[in-house]
Structure 1
Amino acid sequence: MTCLVQHEFFHAYAADEHTLVCLEKLDQVWDAAQPPFAHYTHILQDIDLPYLLYLALFLHDAGKGMGSGDHVKDGTVVCQKVGERLGLTPRRLARLKFLVEHHLLMAEVSQRRDIDSPTVIRQFAETVQDEENLAMLTLLTFADSLGTSNNLWNDFKNTLLQTLYHLAGRRLASGKDYEQAEQQRLAKLMQEAREQLPLKISAEELEAHFEHLTPRYFRTHSLEHINIDLTQVNRFLKRVVNGSGSRVLEPVIAWHNQPARGHTSVKICTWDRPGLFTTISGALAAAGLNILSARVFSRGDGIILDTFLVVNARTGGLAKRPERDTFKKLITQALLP
């Protein structure tokens, strides 16, 4: 491990220094007052055996020194030997090996999989097995990412990791009653939506919204965002009814800066049509915006509600007025006949 160069472009440190930096990052979590470290303080303070987490972090890349090319597999072998020498109980040794074996899992799932999918969360929770593993794996992932490079972590990745932690935690806490709990949650959400209906939205519009969208939509949207979408659909349908000519085909676009999360969300409401996702993505790119993620939903009546999280392609910052205006011009031109 000593001065072992890591050839991936995102690694700023040799393997040995990376390990020490990871431990320093985890130390900063304990009594942190500022984000992103403060987001994880309560998790670290609630862990029963923090020394086991530190040992896992110390050994998570130890397999790289064995040179076989599979550092995860080799790392579990190292854990077995170290755990036996330290006299760890079988249960604690199993947890140590789990953390090292799966130290890449949470970053991969949160950043490359659809964490809005119940199947993804269920499979992840089944792998994690219990809430203590989840807490330790979350902290290990956070420290490992910050210890790789100061430029690797950002607010968006932080949000993804936090979301996966909470969704998986809810699944693990509910156990076999998860599906029933989800049905109860959705029923409660529908009732709250009826009670807090925006003034401009009729009860018929609300019923149509629930009827024309899948349960997955309501699992991934808060009441606030459901009301935002209802308002956007209302604006779009009024344009269709009251407009004339090509104006009835113009999309309704809504922007919202989220500086705390480091991105801008843009919501598009229009009629569904072949190639629409590609058209929207191309217009965003041409306007100078990078897409971080997308949520795409089609209502049964042919209306789409697509949400893209974007940043300025040049600066990595929030979308400003010039990029917004350019996108609106391009997407309107592309969608009109």
Structure 2
Amino acid sequence: MFFWLDQHLLMGQIAVRRNLEDEETILDFARRVGSQQRLDMLLLLTFADQEGTGESKNWTSWKNLLLWELYHQTSRALANREEFIIERRKSIEQIKEKTKARLSSRIDEEEVEAHFNNLPLRYFQTFSEEAISIHIELIHRFFMNQIDSSSNVLAPVVKWIDKPELDHSEVIIVTWDRLGVFSRICGSFSILGLSILSADIHTRNDGIVLDVFKVCTSNKEFASKEQYKNAFCKILEKAFLSESFDITEQLTKNRTIIKEDFEGEFPTSITFDQDSSKKYTILDIQTPDKPALLYRISNALLALGIEIVSARIATEKGAALDTFYIVNKNGEKIVKDEEIKEILRNIRKAVGI
């Protein structure tokens, strides 16, 4: 009984706010649940809680997808922990050979080899073979632009994939790594009034940035490629290529009054989780949602040299519930008190408290 009273919100919180591609997340959740029977009951309790509190109307297809993903992954971990780990760490060589075969008519094997040699295991656990192939093709296109005299070598390559059945669009961006890439991308989405649901951020050892965003409109619907892609690409190119282009100024010009959907005051909470991941510090921020909030937070971290490795973004009833997996400028977990205090100061200023 005490387990259910204490943990009835746990599954929904982890599904929305943690990186489900990280095996540590799944193994830790499986340990806390303990059995398949408890997992089944917790899933039912999560759905019942949504209905009982009226949260179901805010629980989008995207969130349902995350909840079921957590359930299925945890079921496998509970059934056989060792097999689960082996499957999650399946042979990179096998994936590589299948990817080479898939791309053999379009991409040289050397480019495929370079992709596999320049990214960590986490990337290959996150994406399917089909997605990896799409990423390699986009990087190939980006490289072709580098030798095309009519192209701007700094211009990003963007692929926009509509997923109306999941209430979001996937936006893949390839560019060179440089200061403020993530912040500028977030700012460009904000100028168009789009919300970011999640961000997978990857930088190859050769300096190529591969970022994958899931975005939606303010109405929690997919952001139509036809309506948004061209405008986004124009804004993003200006953000990357024009020194005079000021994202903050553009956001100020476009700012509209946004009605708060929650009743009463929603207190800001900023916490650091050092236990759930061996490699990353997890920064959880709960605060009233405001225009360009993610852009302001990413800028605040950028100013301290903090790298955002991945992000899970959610907005409910006017409240932003954002989670960032972060490391310091040396690629290490952030554990020093003075570093934590510095981040807190910057984040508080960014969210306006």
Query: Per the shorter chain, which TM-score range?
Result: 0.5 to 0.7
Q: Name the structure 2 match of 1:318.
A: 222
- Counterpart check, 1:126 vs 2:38: no
Query: Aligned pairs, how many?
Result: 240
1:107-122 superposed matches below 5 A: 107-122=12-27
2:11 maps to: 106
Among 124, 135, 143, the alignment partner of 1:218 is 124
Give the whole-Å Cα distance in 1 for the aligned partners of 2:198 and 2:89.
Answer: 27
Give the alignment partner of residue 237 of structure 1, picking from 138, 143, 159. Answer: 143
Q: Give the residue type in structure 2 aligned to 1:219.
A: Q
CA distance in 1, matches of 2:86, 2:228: 44
Partner residue of 2:76? 170
3-state SS of the aligned residue for 1:260?
helix
Aligned to 2:86: 180
What is the distance in 2 between the residues matched to 1:192 and 1:128? 36
Does 1:284 pair with 2:203? no
| 1:302 is aligned to 2:207 | yes
The structural deviation recorded for 1:240 is 0.8
Give 1:66-85 correspondences, 5 Å limit: 79=1
Does structure 2 conserve the Cα–Cα contact (< 8 Å) formed by 1:186 and 1:219? no
Q: Conserved in 2, the CA contact under 8 Å of 1:198 and 1:227?
A: no
Query: Residue 249 of structure 1 aligns to a residue in which SS?
Result: coil
Decide whether the 8 Å contact of 2:96 with 2:112 is kept in 1.
no
Distance in structure 2 (CA, Å) of the matches to 1:304 and 1:192: 23
1:204 aligns with 2:145: no
From 80, 94, 98, give the equivalent of 1:192. Answer: 98
2:178 corresponds to 1:273: yes
Residues 112-157 of structure 1 deviation map (CA, whole Å, 9 limit, x = unaligned) = 1122212212211111122222222122212222332242211011
In structure 2, distance between residues paired with 1:172 and 1:312 = 37
CA 174–327 in structure 1, closer or farther in 2 if over 3 Å, else same: same
Quote how far apart the aligned CAs of 1:326 are: 1.9
Q: State the distance in 1 between where 2:73 and 2:159 align.
A: 27
1:222: Cα distance to partner? 0.5
- Tell me how far apart the structure 2 counterparts of residues 113 and 298 of structure 1 sit (CA, whole Å): 21
Change in 2 beyond 3 A, CA 1:217/1:172: same
Query: Identity, % of aligned pairs?
Result: 37
Greater shift, 116-125 or 327-336, is seen at 116-125
> Who wins on radius of gyration, i.e. which is larger?
1
Equivalents in 2 of 1:146, 1:198: separation in Å?
Answer: 50
Gapped regions of structure 2 (runs ≥ 5): 243-353
**What stretches of structure 1 move > 6 A for 4+ residues in a row?**
none
Q: Give the distance between the partners of 1:140 and 1:203, measured in 2 at CA.
A: 49
Matches of 1:102 and 1:190, distance apart in 2: 40
CA distance in 1 between counterparts of 2:66 and 2:192 reads 25
CA deviation map 1:176-229 (0-9, x unaligned): 344333333544323322332252111111111110011011101001101110
The partner residue of 1:333 within 238, 241, 244 is: 238
**Among candidates 63, 83, 87, match of residue 157 of structure 1:** 63
Structure 1 residue runs without a partner (length 5+)? 1-78, 80-96
- Secondary structure class of the residue paired with 1:265: strand
Asked whether 1:142 is paired with 2:47, we answer yes
